[in-house]
Structure 1
Amino acid sequence: MPMKKKQRFGLIVFIILLILFVLITYEPWNKGRRGMETSMAPDAVPPVIQLNWPSIRAAFPNTGNEDTLCNYLGFDLAYNEAYEQAAWVCYVLSREEIERGNVERSDDFRPDPNISTGSASLDDYRKSGFDRGHIAPAADMKWSEQAMSESFYMTNMSPQLGSFNRGVWKRLETQVREWALEKDSLLVISGPVLEEIDSLIGPNEVGVPPCYFKVLADLSPPDHSFIAFLLPHKASQASLFSFAVSVDSLEAFTGYDFFASAPDQEVIRWLEQDLDTTLWAY
């Protein structure tokens, strides 16, 4: 009996649908699709969480500004000429440095001769009502007399309220040293937020930042992790974790690109979006 036209059309549609079903469910294609989705997922865990940096320069932030890069024995910094202070400082803090550190605080605050146009001066802070607040803490440099002395260059100072500098900021600095002892080696990036500054002090018009940040990277394998802190420039008794943010969130707030030159960007992207405070218990 000859097949009617409608029956033939229905059979053709059925065959086409069957072919499409086989193609979609065929395992090699399905595996490839799952692999692509996994690699594209922003929160996908890389197969190996390992940092392979040729030098500390791989961690330097890109601020988008023409800051002056200065290298010292214990830290590196990018000097922001507009506001006469570091945009950021970067250094590695190790358990060994802390354990053998016995150098006394030098307190030799002075202008930085490495800034050709002249850094901030002591006069800028005199009777200003602000502390000369360290960005790279002097207590992190006790392993070397030179490192300790260089931490008192005015390029490493920022105008900080005493209640902030000797309060929550000091608490965070102290806790960073505790984490370095526990984890063996930390990379530290610290600085002021040089946006929306509406207050200047001294003849050189040093900017008073509204916030400060710290980024920490656990360099000790196998459990690499990142954590960042964003602190309003005011006194606070709150838990340090109330200021904890992901590096991604800090980048969005500051406009900085942290770890911009690191070669292992897949790992960096995952670590930057992750915030797991259980890895930083205190």
Structure 2
Amino acid sequence: MAKKISRTRGQAVPKSPVRRRSRRTIHRKKRAASPLWISLRNLFIWAVILVACVLLVLYIFNYASGRSKPDTSSFFIEKSLATDPLAGGSPSEALSGDGLALEIPILQNGQREQIIEHEGYTVSYNSDYRIANWVAYELTGEEVRKNTVERSNKFVPDPDVEGATALQEDYSGTGYDRGHLAPAGDMKWSAKAMRESFYFSNICPQKPKLNQGLWKDLEELSRQWAVEQGSLYIVTGPVIEPDLKRLGKNRIGIPRQFYKVICTTRDKERSGIGFLFENRGYGKTSLQALAVPIDSVEKVTGIDFFPFLPDETEKQMEANVRLESWF
């Protein structure tokens, strides 16, 4: 039976604690739902949305502005080609698109690349193989004649390389030379250019009989041609293939072939020559026997050389090679 609670007339009945908490809760809810609070909350939300919209518009504007201009920063070299001695007095022969350097090629084989500019050369570095796709530079007769800087012989990693790189120990005891692409002998006009020619981004594993044989002979002959003609545009590098063997702890790609292509002007006409070398010694083989049209090198490498020449000039220069004008 339920217990009855007696109550004397005039005696206050205690309020239930639960009821008091319930009333305070209701009061807080009413206060939270006040119009002022709702207005402030909505104002804050709209302010956040407005700021987000402004940032989005600015991002789209900057992106569109960047896309509207050709990205030439990676390819631009400060040497002015407007007075290029090979242009025959016509700047349009030497220049294409905001001062793009004539010697810079374009990859068409889908290889990874990072373009790095140094004092004496520009390199397209391939971090997959830790070697260059190509190294390009202009060699002038004046630079060859200057010849004032001693050889460095200090091989070091390129500080501008992003990603994996070769190290000194990768070559130790392997039987391969650290073969220059842009030779140190072409950089004796500048102490900085000489130091940078020993960056590993400019080095490839080469058999000693190639590096110290016909490869060296062609480097020396190129310097002679630069003096005779006034200037050469040179692109050189390894032939990148998907199944290259690897060297050392950092897995440096070992090329099976190397190439060098050269452009100059002879008798007021563009003249070009290409060379393909296997990574081996050649004994008494002559350089003439390895000379090929630049078109042939393009087919093997998947690289478009001297793309900033007028199309007709490029086509004629690369289709054949006149050995008698070179040797």
Q: Given the two structures, how large is their TM-score scaled by the length of structure 2? A: 0.68
Aligned-pair distance for 1:197? Answer: 4.2
Out of 219, 231, 234, the position equivalent to 1:185 is 231
Aligned position for 2:56: none
Out of 249, 255, 258, the position equivalent to 2:305 is 258
Q: How does 1:1-282 map to 2 (within 5 A)?
A: 51-54=93-96, 55=99, 57-64=101-108, 65-195=111-241, 197-219=243-265, 222-236=268-282, 237-260=284-307, 262-281=308-327
3-state SS of paired residue (1:51): helix
Aligned position for 1:17: none
Distance 1:277 1:225, change over 3 A: same
In 1, are the aligned partners of 2:158 and 2:199 still within 8 Å (CA)? yes
- Report percent identity of matched pairs: 37
CA–CA distance in structure 1, aligned partners of residues 103 and 138 of structure 2: 10
Q: Could you give the per-residue CA deviations for residues 189-241 of structure 1, whole angstroms, max 9, x where no partner exists?
A: 00011125442111110011011110000046613200000111110121101
CA–CA distance in structure 1, aligned partners of residues 299 and 180 of structure 2: 25
- Structure 2: tracts of 5 or more residues without a match: 1-89
Distance 1:184 1:263, change over 3 A: closer
In 1, are the aligned partners of 2:124 and 2:134 still within 8 Å (CA)? yes
In 1, are the aligned partners of 2:292 and 2:320 still within 8 Å (CA)? no
Amino acid at match of 2:165: S
CA–CA distance in structure 1, aligned partners of residues 192 and 318 of structure 2: 33
Amino acid at match of 2:104: F
Which is bigger in relative contact order (C-alpha 8 A, separation at least 6)? 1
Greater Cα radius of gyration, structure 1 or 2:
2
Distance 1:150 1:170, change over 3 A: same
Q: Could you give the per-residue CA deviations for residues 100-155 of structure 1, whole angstroms, max 9, x where no partner exists?
A: 12100011110111012142111111111111100000000000000000000010
CA–CA distance in structure 1, aligned partners of residues 242 and 287 of structure 2: 24
CA–CA distance in structure 2, aligned partners of residues 219 and 51 of structure 1: 11
Amino acid at match of 2:258: Y
- Structure 1: tracts of 5 or more residues without a match: 1-47
3-state SS of paired residue (2:212): helix
Distance 1:234 1:196, change over 3 A: farther
Q: Could you give the per-residue CA deviations for residues 1-22 of structure 1, whole angstroms, max 9, x where no partner exists?
A: xxxxxxxxxxxxxxxxxxxxxx
3-state SS of paired residue (2:125): strand
Aligned-pair distance for 1:249? Answer: 1.1
In 2, are the aligned partners of 1:184 and 1:220 still within 8 Å (CA)? no
Q: Given the two structures, how large is their TM-score scaled by the length of structure 1? A: 0.78
CA–CA distance in structure 1, aligned partners of residues 243 and 95 of structure 2: 34
